[in-house]
Amino acid sequence: MIDLTGLTIDKIKQAFKNKEYTAVELTKAYLKKIKEKDLEVKAFLCVTEKLALNQAEIADKMIAEGKEQPLTGIPCAIKDNIMVKGEQCTAGSKFLKDYRATYNATVIKKLEEQGAIFLGKTNMDEFAMGSSCENSGFFPTKNPHDLERVPGGSSGGSAAAVAADMCVFALGSDTGGSIRQPAAFCGVNGVKPTYGAVSRYGVIAYASSLDQIGPIAKNSDDCKIVFDAIKGKDRCDSTSFDLPLDEKTFDVKNLKIGVPKEYFGEGLDPIIEESVRKAIDFYKQNGAEIIEISLPHAEYALACYYIIAPAEASANLARFDGIRYSEIVKDGDWDIVDSYLQNRTAGFGAEVKKRIMLGTYTLSAGYYDAYYKKALKVRTLIKKDFDDAFEKVDIIMSPTSPILPFKIGEKTEDPLSMYLADVYTVSVPLAGLPGMSIPCGFANNLPIGLQLVAPALKENLIFSVANFLQKNYGIR
Amino acid sequence: MISEEDVKKIAKLSYLKINEEEMKKFEQDFSSILDYVNKLKELDVSLIEETANMANVENVFREDKERNFADVKLLAALMPRQRDNYLEVKKILNNND
């Protein structure tokens, strides 16, 4: 019996080396765990058992032949908006319930080349629009720490799968906080890379100027291994690029940490504030300098996001028309326009319709300047706030979420209260920066996340800073 | 405030139909979100440049060379109606157009 509790890449590699178990045995253990545990957590939309066992055999062969790479034989889960050839790819939408991916996303190709194993596709808010997984077109996922509560979203299935030991790591996607917020809610680590650091080819687009794929894992070392595997320039995504190597040695005594005063104001649960401040104080005790900074336009970030993201979504989701795939209403001899209307009306859920319409509205004649253009200008100001702050500090720390994981159904009636769950995470993709959520404590047995934000391309600094806390600070 | 009339117009532009039961909730949600984003009106941005994306690269060129899609059969299998791997679609233009 393999104990999967808290299993990390490092430990598995050691076990492979000591011949304690094979990749096939490990994969079978995870598949068994999913069969039992996922009955209550419901993190997976589908389990790709056949694929996983095939990949595990290949991994064992790679190991036997001495061709092992960092992720060879490591079982993982993939958010269901990332294409794995031949498998379903629904983006959490009924619209795509019968859709099967016709090619591999670049990140999938890269993981497969390393010999990683795909256990299944994870649940998410429909088209990544949501902060709780309750907008999934299929079923809500539960938080493994408290099954009455949400796991966060939109990558809630991925975060819950990692937290419940149903995989070693998972891929998620982050547009306004969709990796970091569920990582915080589930007590795991989640990284949103610098815009362009990871190819978006093969991910179902929500808001193209914001979307990034990133890892969710048990610790920062695993996040780094996965990030290093998936990053890099890709000819199929012209915004992608190769990150320069940043191998400067890290010393906490030279670290300047910025703490934005705007992120510790009204709306923040005091119990979260206490936990986050305590973690930041730990860096101070170890020699880091803490500097209070200001991000003066922070209060406008959420409004800016809720103009830009739906505007881009309204364009991206125009492709779903039921013509080339996913005809979900049987053809009633309509003309082409009626056919679009029937399929789109039946296929999209309420939140997706709302955001498509919101985007259509803010891009329409007469409102474009007042909303969309204005939001693009505010985006410049938000970016400048960070540029100014990084003149004085190396890294910025804040809570990931202002609230603890909430009860399922608690916020579904009031969209704005749900949107406010992302108030500390939305600025980061608007400014194109890398951000990470790491666990920093618990309150009422629910996890709390600390958000780390660095200048563009400084992922390695984030990993070092996160690693320092994880190696030296007890969070329970 | 946004009216039922507005919602209907936006729905039409979005190729969506909103039925009577959904209408009230849409109006409410829409109005509350628009009220919130109107916060941006507080800011004077007349001298600020727009930022449409945060790309770290510009003018990315590549050879303009065709590539064959690896698995046409998988694509064709998804098509609601097809003939010999070609998608069958409805008539878009009338004879009189």
Min CA distance, A387 vs chain B (Å)?
13
pLDDT confidence tier of residue B60, bands split at 50, 70 and 90: confident
| Residue-wise pLDDT tens digits, A351-375 | 999 999 999 999 998 899 999 999 9
Number of domains chain A contains: 1
Quote the distance between the C-alpha of residue A381 and its chain's center: 25
Global confidence as pTM: 0.97
Q: What residues in B contact A356, CB-CB < 8 Å?
A: 14, 16
- Whether the per-residue pLDDT at B59 is higher than 90: the answer is no
- Our answer to whether residue A155 is catalytic in this structure is no
Enumerate residues 367 to 386 of chain A having a beta carbon within 8 A of any beta carbon in chain B: 371, 373-381, 383
In a domain, A197, yes or no: yes
ipTM: 0.93
H-assigned helices in A317-399? 336-347, 350-363, 374-392
Query: Percent of chain A scored above 70 by pLDDT?
Result: 99
Are residues A417 and A453 in contact, defined by beta-carbon separation less than 8 angstroms?
no
In a domain, A304, yes or no: no
A374·B40 Cβ contact <8 A: yes
In a domain, A39, yes or no: yes
User: Among the options A155, A178, A427, A464, which is catalytic?
Assistant: A178
pLDDT at B96: 62
Q: Say which range, A6-15, A268-277, A410-419, has the weakest mean pLDDT.
A: A410-419
Are residues A132 and A406 in contact, defined by beta-carbon separation less than 8 angstroms?
yes
User: Among the options A93, A154, A240, A401, which is catalytic?
Assistant: A154
B54·A326 Cβ contact <8 A: no
Find the domain containing A13 and state its range. 9-230
Which CATH number belongs to the domain containing residue A110 in this structure?
3.90.1300.10
d(CA A358, CA A341): 17
What sign has the CA pseudo-torsion A303, B38, B6, B9?
A: negative
**Higher model confidence: residue A77 or residue B1?**
A77
Sheet of strand A256-260: strand arrangement: A44-47, A117-122, A75-79, A169-174, A212-217, A189-192, A435-443, A446-453, A395-399, A256-260, A289-293
- Our answer to whether residue A136 is catalytic in this structure is no
Q: What residues in B contact A348, CB-CB < 8 Å?
A: 16
A357·B10 Cβ contact <8 A: yes
Q: What residues in B contact A375, CB-CB < 8 Å?
A: 37, 40
In a domain, A127, yes or no: yes
Q: Say which range, A65-69, A144-148, A338-342, A390-394, has the weakest mean pLDDT.
A: A338-342
Q: Smallest Cβ distance to B55: which of A195, A383, A416?
A: A195
Helix, strand or coil for residue B82?
strand
Helix, strand or coil for residue A244?
coil
Q: What residues in B contact A323, CB-CB < 8 Å?
A: 80, 87, 89
